Structure 1
C-alpha cells in the first residue's frame, strides 16, 4: 500500500437524468486529475453524514491513500439526497446505480474502471447491479448479502415468516423518517424532510403481499441466473450472521468468477467485527481493486475459491470477544461428501444410513410455542445475546437425538441435510431442525439450523396445503456451518415445531408425528483442505472516535408471566448520543421491541417495534418516532404503523398506517 495524500469532499451533488440530485461523499487521491485513478462505489440508504460515517471513515481514507477514490452515495430519499425511497432494490434504485457508475467513469479523475462494494444493503445491490452489467463496473466485493432474496434475507425462510421482517420494517421507517442535514442542504432541509415523512412507505405491507417466492423476490436474486454476473466477485460473510449461506452459494453458482471468505463474525466488516479473529479487509480489498481496476499482477486472482474459519468447540457466552478455531482453504470448492447418521432403535443418533423399509416408529412432538428464545437475532450486530445462547433452553421443548461421545474430532464445512417422514395433525405446521454441539458438561452450542413451513416442503413458489394424518417426506437443508466437534463431545439433532420469536407461529398448533425410523442426517465433511493464515488487520481499533455525550446500552429479557401464561421477549438497544467532531452533528437511536405469545395459543402472538431517532446541534433538535405492530388471526396478518416527527420538542407531523389485514398464504 502507498501513503498518498488525499482530499475528502464532504458533499458532492450528482444530478441524474431525471434532475434528481443525489448526495455523495468522496475521498479523492491528490493528483487524480493529472493521473486518473480507479474508484470504489457504495450506494446505501443509511446516511453517509451520520449513519455509516464511522465505518466509511475506517475504510475509504485507506483506499484513497492507496490511490483508489471512494464514492459513497445516499440513495433517493435518504441522507441529503432528493426524493423518497420506494422500496428495497427496486428497478429505480438499480437504474440509479448504473447511472452513477457511468457518471463516475466519465469524470476526469477516473481511469474508467469502477468497483462496487458494500455490506448488507450495499452488498445486496452490488451483486444485483453486477447482474445488469454496466460497462464500467469491473469487480465487486459483497459482504453479508444474499443471492436469494426470499430464502436468505430478513423476510421469509423456507416459507416461514421471520420476525425480523417487522423489525426491519420498523427500522426503515425510523431511518427514512430522518431529515437531511441543514448544514449541507440549507433552507430546503425542512421541505425535504416533510416530503419524506409524507411519502415514505411502510415496507411491511408490500412484503406481506408476497408470501411466496414470486417475481417480487426473484427480482434481484442473482441465483435466478448466475451467468448474468460476469465480473470477479469476492463474497464475505460470518458464521454468527444470518447471511452465512451466501459465500458458498455464490462460489457454487458463479464458479471461477467468485471467491468466498467466511469468518466467525457478526454482521460487520471483517476488520472490526466480532468475534475475533478479524481479517485484514483493507489489504485484501486494495489488492482486489488493484488487480481488477488497474490490471496489477499481484496474485489476488489466485486466491483459493473458498476460505473459511472452522469454529472449534465454541462455547456460547453472554459476550464472545473471540472464538477458537483455525483457517482453512479449499482451492477448488466442490460439494462436500456427506457423513450420514440415523436414529437407531434406542433413540441414539448413530453413524450410518436409515434402514430401508424399517417399521415405522412415530414419535409425537408439539413444542411449547415459546421454544426458540435461545435463538438470538436473525442478523447480529453485537457478539452478545444477539447470538444464539446455550441451547438447553430450547432443547427442553424439542425432540432431541444425541450420538455417543465422539471417539475423534470431526470437522465439517457446508450445509447439513435432514430427511424424514412425518404426519401432521393439522393443515399448517412449521418444523425447525438444529445441529448442536453438546459439551462434556452439557453446555449446548448451536452449530446450524434450518426451518420449513411444511406447506413449502416441495418449493416456495407453489406451496401445497397439508392433509392432516397424511405422511409427507421432508428434505430440510440447514444453514451452512464450519465447525469442529471435539473428541468427547456429542452431536445432537434437535427438532421442534416452534422457533419463536425468530419465526412466527402457524395458525394451528397441533404438532406432528415424526417417524424417527426414517430420519437421516447428512453432515458435510470438511474433506481435502489446507491450513492457512488469514492476516489480521494492522490497526486493531480502526473505527474513529466520536464525542460521547451518553453511553450506549443494551438489554434482552425473557419474561414469563406464569399466572397469565404469557411469555415476552424484550429488546432494548440504545446507541448512545455521539457527536461527530468535525460536523458537530449529534445523533442517537433507541430501539424498543416486544414479542409476546402464550405458549399454547398461536393466535396470541404480537410484536411491536419502536424506533426513536434524535439529531441535534446547538439551537437545532429533531426527533422521529416510528412504531410498527403485527398480530394475527387464523386467516390474516394484522399490521399497522405510525410515524411522528418533532422539531424542538413540538410535534410537526404524524402519519398513521391504519390497521390492515393481509390474508395468510398457507402460513
Structure 2
C-alpha cells in the first residue's frame, strides 16, 4: 500500500527540462567493457513505474549491485558552483552522478551500479514525496528488483552522500531481504532539528537553494515543503511520521562523517551511527570536505573493502578495522588520526569552563563576582557587507598544554532581552593560533574558512526533551513556545554540534555569542543562513554568582591506539 503522510500539501513540479533533463531516452551501449542501460522501467508494488540507469560489466553475470537513490537526477553531475570549491582529486570521470558512486570504478571491480530517480522525480511516475515513508517503501522495492535480476548475485549495497545517505537510513530500516550492506556518508538523521529549524530558528539559505535548484523537478506533483513548514512549525505528528527508524537498521553499515558540515550533516551522521541497530558497524570521522573525501582514492578503496566483504564474501582485512576512527582537526587536512573504540571516544571527560563577562575569559571555576556582557542584534549595520551578527560577545580559553577534543559540546547561558518576547542566540567555536589568528576549516563540502562548531537557540524553544537530553547534549523538545519572562534572565541550555579539535599549547578556543549568523556567506552559496529572526531588543548575558554560564567541552583524557601518529601530522587517507 502506498503511504502518503500528508494530504493536500502538494504542488505542481517544475518541468524536468528546466532542470537540465535531456529527455526520456531509453537505450543501451557498451564502452570500455561497461554496459549501460538508460531509462530502465522498474515497477513499484502499486504499479507506479520509476526509472533507473544500470551500469554493469559487459558479459558478466551474478555480480553484486550498488544502488544510488536520490532526487537530483540520474543524468546530473555536480553543479558548477559546488564543484568549483570541492577540491575533488583526481578529477571525476565524465558522467559521474552527483554525490553517487563512480560507475567506471565499480564496474571495473566487478559490480553493477544502479542510479534511480525516485517516484515523481524527473521522468519517474507518481508524485514526489521526499524522505517520506513512500520513498522508503519504493527504495525497498528497488533493492528487491536489483537483487533479483539475472545479472545480480542477489547481494545489494547502497552508497552515496547527503540525501543518498538519508535514503539508506530509510530503506535499510524497512529490511529488504536482498540488502546486504550500506555506506551512508554525511546524512541528516533528524530533519526538523538538523536541517529546517536550527535550535528552533528557521533555516532559509541552504534550503532555498536545495528546493529551488536541485529538487522538485518532475511530470506530476511534489510535496510543497514551504506550505508544510507553515502548517507544522512545531515538532508534531507530521514530523514524527518522517523520523528515521534507525534502530531498525540491521545490515552491516560503514558510516562516514565530516566535521566540516555543521548545520547539515555532522550531527545526523553521528546520531545515525549511535542509534543504528546493526551489530556490525563502523564510523570514520574526518575533517575534510565531504565530496573530496568520498572520492579520495584511499577512501574509495576502503569502501570496496567493506562491500567486497559483505557483497562478494571476500575474506579481507575488514576484521582488523577499529569500530571508530577519528581525525582530531588541527589545521585543514592536518591532525592526528586515531583508532577509537566508541564515539565519543572512551577517554572523553566533559569538562566545565565558566564564562566571566568581566574579563571575556573562560575559567576552570565559576567567577566569584557577578558581571554582564551584551550586544544589540537590532542595531543597523553601519558598513557595507556587515550585519547584525557583528554585534557579539566573545569569551576565550587558552590551553597551556596539548589538548584534544572529541564529542558534543553544551553551553549554559543566562540571558535576557528586556522588553522582548523572544530572542535568537547564535553560537560559534573557533580556534586561534598562538599569534591570535583565526584558523579556518572546510565548510559545507566546498567552502573554506569555516568555524570549529555551531550552535543555535530560539529562547521561546528553550524547553528540553527530558528523554533525549543529557548534561553533555541538551536537546530541545520543540513542542510549544514559551515567551520570555517580563524581568530577569532565563537559563538557555544550548546544544553545540559535535567537534574534533587538536590544540597546541598557547592556542585558544574562542566562544562567540550573537543574535544573528556570526559567519554569513553570499546568497548564491549553498550554506546555512537564517533570515527570519525574533530579536527586538538588546541581549544581556549574566555570568557569575547565581548565573553560572558554563561551556562543557569533551576533553580527551585518554585515547586508543594512534592510527597515523600521535602528533600534529597530515593524514592523507583519513581512514
TM band (smaller chain): 0.7 to 0.9
Quote the residue 1:296 is aligned against. Answer: 314
Quote the residue 1:496 is aligned against. Answer: 514
Quote the residue 1:12 is aligned against. Answer: 40
CA distance change for structure 1 residues 395 and 523 in 2, over 3 Å: closer, same or farther?
farther
Quote the residue 1:328 is aligned against. Answer: 338
Task: Give SS of 1:529's match.
Answer: coil
Residues 309 and 325 of structure 1 are in contact (CA less than 8 Å); yes or no, is this contact kept in structure 2?
yes
Q: CA deviation at 1:127?
A: 0.5
Runs of 4+ in 1 over 6 A off after TM superposition: 392-395
Task: Give SS of 2:130's match.
Answer: coil
Residues 370 and 498 of structure 1 are in contact (CA less than 8 Å); yes or no, is this contact kept in structure 2?
no
Residues 369 and 498 of structure 1 are in contact (CA less than 8 Å); yes or no, is this contact kept in structure 2?
no
Quote the residue 2:540 is aligned against. Answer: 513
The TM-score, its normalising length taken from structure 1, stands at 0.65
Which has the larger displacement, 507-516 or 123-132? 507-516
Quote the residue 2:289 is aligned against. Answer: 266
CA displacement 1:337-395 (0-9 Å, x = unmatched): 1232113474242442326xx56433333235689x999xxxxxxxxxxxxxxxx9988
Q: CA deviation at 1:308?
A: 2.3
Quote the residue 2:229 is aligned against. Answer: 207
The structure whose RCO (Cα within 8 Å, separation 6+) is larger is 2
User: For the residues of structure 1 that align with 2:501 and 2:297, how far apart are their CA atoms?
Assistant: 19
| Structural mapping, 1:232-311, within 5 Å | 232-241=252-261, 242-254=264-276, 257-268=280-291, 270-272=293-295, 278=296, 280-311=298-329
CA distance change for structure 1 residues 536 and 165 in 2, over 3 Å: closer, same or farther?
closer
Residues 271 and 281 of structure 1 are in contact (CA less than 8 Å); yes or no, is this contact kept in structure 2?
yes
CA distance change for structure 1 residues 353 and 29 in 2, over 3 Å: closer, same or farther?
farther
User: For the residues of structure 1 that align with 2:537 and 2:411, how far apart are their CA atoms?
Assistant: 22
Q: 2:54 aligns with which of 14, 17, 26?
A: 26
Matched, 1:73 2:73: no
User: For the residues of structure 2 that align with 1:493 and 1:513, how far apart are their CA atoms?
Assistant: 16
Q: CA deviation at 1:200?
A: 4.0
Residues 430 and 505 of structure 1 are in contact (CA less than 8 Å); yes or no, is this contact kept in structure 2?
no
Q: CA deviation at 1:419?
A: 1.2
The TM-score, its normalising length taken from structure 2, stands at 0.75
Matched, 1:465 2:491: no
Quote the residue 1:149 is aligned against. Answer: 191
User: For the residues of structure 1 that align with 2:372 and 2:123, how far apart are their CA atoms?
Assistant: 60
CA distance change for structure 1 residues 120 and 299 in 2, over 3 Å: closer, same or farther?
same
Which has the larger displacement, 297-306 or 87-96? 297-306
Residues 370 and 499 of structure 1 are in contact (CA less than 8 Å); yes or no, is this contact kept in structure 2?
no
CA displacement 1:552-583 (0-9 Å, x = unmatched): xxxxxxxxxxxxxxxxxxxxxxxxxxxxxxxx
Quote the residue 1:105 is aligned against. Answer: 147
Task: Give SS of 1:483's match.
Answer: strand
Quote the residue 1:162 is aligned against. Answer: 203
Unaligned 5+ segments in structure 1 are 178-192, 273-277, 315-321, 376-391, 538-667
Q: CA deviation at 1:159?
A: 0.7
Q: CA deviation at 1:144?
A: 1.6
Quote the residue 2:16 is aligned against. Answer: none
CA distance change for structure 1 residues 166 and 142 in 2, over 3 Å: closer, same or farther?
closer
Q: CA deviation at 1:470?
A: 4.2
Residues 64 and 311 of structure 2 are in contact (CA less than 8 Å); yes or no, is this contact kept in structure 1?
yes
Residues 236 and 261 of structure 1 are in contact (CA less than 8 Å); yes or no, is this contact kept in structure 2?
yes
Matched, 1:60 2:82: no
Residues 237 and 265 of structure 1 are in contact (CA less than 8 Å); yes or no, is this contact kept in structure 2?
no
Task: Give SS of 1:151's match.
Answer: helix
CA distance change for structure 1 residues 443 and 11 in 2, over 3 Å: closer, same or farther?
same
Residues 166 and 204 of structure 1 are in contact (CA less than 8 Å); yes or no, is this contact kept in structure 2?
no
| Structural mapping, 1:646-657, within 5 Å | none
User: For the residues of structure 1 that align with 2:76 and 2:299, how far apart are their CA atoms?
Assistant: 22
Matched, 1:442 2:468: no
User: For the residues of structure 2 that align with 1:28 and 1:369, how far apart are their CA atoms?
Assistant: 60
CA distance change for structure 1 residues 62 and 108 in 2, over 3 Å: closer, same or farther?
same
Matched, 1:410 2:403: yes
Residues 231 and 257 of structure 1 are in contact (CA less than 8 Å); yes or no, is this contact kept in structure 2?
yes
CA distance change for structure 1 residues 293 and 168 in 2, over 3 Å: closer, same or farther?
same
Matched, 1:227 2:247: yes
Task: Give SS of 2:272's match.
Answer: helix
User: For the residues of structure 2 that align with 1:498 and 1:158, how far apart are their CA atoms?
Assistant: 13
Residues 158 and 181 of structure 2 are in contact (CA less than 8 Å); yes or no, is this contact kept in structure 1?
yes
User: For the residues of structure 1 that align with 2:391 and 2:421, how far apart are their CA atoms?
Assistant: 22
Which has the larger displacement, 158-167 or 125-134? 158-167
Q: CA deviation at 1:535?
A: 6.3
CA displacement 1:228-258 (0-9 Å, x = unmatched): 1112221212222231223332333237543
| Structural mapping, 1:238-637, within 5 Å | 238-241=258-261, 242-254=264-276, 257-268=280-291, 270-272=293-295, 278=296, 280-312=298-330, 314=331, 323-334=333-344, 336-344=348-356, 346-354=358-366, 360-368=370-378, 396-403=390-397, 405-425=398-418, 426-445=420-439, 446-458=451-463, 459-463=476-480, 464-499=482-517, 502-517=529-544, 518-526=548-556, 527-533=558-564, 536=573
Q: CA deviation at 1:325?
A: 2.3
Residues 412 and 549 of structure 2 are in contact (CA less than 8 Å); yes or no, is this contact kept in structure 1?
yes
User: For the residues of structure 2 that align with 1:422 and 1:5, how far apart are their CA atoms?
Assistant: 65
| Structural mapping, 1:25-44, within 5 Å | 25-33=53-61, 36-44=62-70
CA distance change for structure 1 residues 469 and 408 in 2, over 3 Å: closer, same or farther?
same
CA distance change for structure 1 residues 247 and 261 in 2, over 3 Å: closer, same or farther?
farther
Q: CA deviation at 1:475?
A: 1.6
Residues 433 and 494 of structure 1 are in contact (CA less than 8 Å); yes or no, is this contact kept in structure 2?
yes
Q: CA deviation at 1:126?
A: 0.6
CA distance change for structure 1 residues 452 and 359 in 2, over 3 Å: closer, same or farther?
same
User: For the residues of structure 1 that align with 2:179 and 2:190, how far apart are their CA atoms?
Assistant: 22
User: For the residues of structure 1 that align with 2:144 and 2:152, how far apart are their CA atoms?
Assistant: 11
CA distance change for structure 1 residues 395 and 214 in 2, over 3 Å: closer, same or farther?
closer
Which has the larger displacement, 92-101 or 199-208? 199-208
Task: Give SS of 1:108's match.
Answer: coil
CA distance change for structure 1 residues 294 and 125 in 2, over 3 Å: closer, same or farther?
same
User: For the residues of structure 1 that align with 2:505 and 2:175, how far apart are their CA atoms?
Assistant: 49
Task: Give SS of 1:479's match.
Answer: strand
CA displacement 1:530-551 (0-9 Å, x = unmatched): 33246649xxxxxxxxxxxxxx
CA displacement 1:112-158 (0-9 Å, x = unmatched): 221122211111111011112122212111112022111122x1112
Q: CA deviation at 1:478?
A: 0.7
Task: Give SS of 1:152's match.
Answer: helix
